[in-house]
Amino acid sequence: GQQVMQIPQYQHVQEGEDFTTYCNSSTTLSNIQWYKQRPGGHPVFLIQLVKSGEVKKQKRLTFQFGEAKKNSSLHITATQTTDVGTYFCAGMDSSYKLIFGSGTRLLVRP
Amino acid sequence: DGGITQSPKYLFRKEGQNVTLSCEQNLNHDAMYWYRQDPGQGLRLIYYSQIVNDFQKGDIAEGYSVSREKKESFPLTVTSAQKNPTAFYLCASRDRGADTQYFGPGTRLTVL
């Protein structure tokens, strides 16, 4: 079946350093979504990418969708302690089901 | 105040007992989903429903059952057949024609 792989599993950074998480799908995706889950909380939708090669920015966060629509990345510039949490990518299949990656847990040292 | 509610937040049950988790939404969304999350893991789809009175199995449906008698409600029953039921259970909903799923606060189930 369709799989979405996400790396790294963990990333521990000093506040102010950059952070990137990568997502790869075994098949072409109709779109990809990114969610953030704070410790003890539930996933919260961040953004959706639909077009091949699409790049979107939200303040310090930059999201990219690969040309082949099989991979994506999330880059955070100058991390802050408020960025702590687990970031999930999720690819949507033809049945509107989301296939979630395993997530990247970000820890930020103040 | 619109949103998705799940109750209770924490639930403890003895091994061998069935337990039903509640999920209610007042967003008028057609589709609803149940996911399971284990520590340090991603979300795995248990069941989903695109419309009232219809639902489909997800990737890990064994040991679970659902019903969708009303648009706003999608309860999940964790049966005694589920071998490892202790987990964080998340419910989500999606509007027709939209892609974004909105999650409830989750229920942490512990089976003793």
pLDDT tens-digit map of A78-106: 999 999 999 999 998 777 788 999 999 99
- State which residue of chain B sits closest to A102, comparing Cα positions: B42
Partner residue opposite A42 with nearest CB, options B42, B58, B103 = B103
pLDDT tens column, B6-42: 999 999 999 889 999 999 999 999 999 999 999 878 8
pLDDT at B40: 79
pLDDT at A93: 79
The pLDDT of residue B2 is above 90: no
Preferred mutation among B10, B43, B51, B108 to probe A, highest tally of A CBs within 10 A: B43
Within 8 A of A40 by CB-CB distance, chain B residues are none
Can you list the positions of beta strands (E) in A1-110?
4-7, 10-14, 19-25, 32-37, 44-49, 55-58, 61-65, 71-76, 85-92, 98-100, 104-109
Please give the distance of CA B61 from its chain centroid, rounded to a whole number: 11
Task: Please compute, for residue B78, the number of CA atoms within 13 A of its CA located in the half-sphere on the CB side.
Answer: 26
How far apart are the CA of A95 and the nearest CA of chain B, in angstroms?
A: 10
The pLDDT of residue A46 is above 70: yes
C-beta of residue A35 within 8 angstroms of C-beta of residue A88? yes
The pLDDT of residue A40 is above 70: yes
For residue B74, what pLDDT band results from cuts at 50, 70 and 90?
A: very high
- State which residue of chain B sits closest to A96, comparing Cα positions: B99
* Cβ-based neighbours of A17, under 8 Å, separated by 6 or more: A78, A79
- State which residue of chain A sits closest to B33, comparing Cα positions: A97
Preferred mutation among B46, B47, B99 to probe A, highest tally of A CBs within 10 A: B99
The pLDDT of residue A1 is above 80: no
Counted residue by residue, chain A has a size of: 110
pLDDT at B98: 83
pLDDT at B1: 52
Per the prediction, chain B carries an average pLDDT of: 93
pLDDT at A96: 77
Q: State percent of chain B over pLDDT 90.
A: 81
Span of A14-18, A56-60, B18-22, B38-42 with lowest mean pLDDT: B38-42
Partner residue opposite B99 with nearest CB, options A41, A92, A102 = A92
pLDDT at A103: 95
Preferred mutation among B101, B102, B107, B108 to probe A, highest tally of A CBs within 10 A: B101
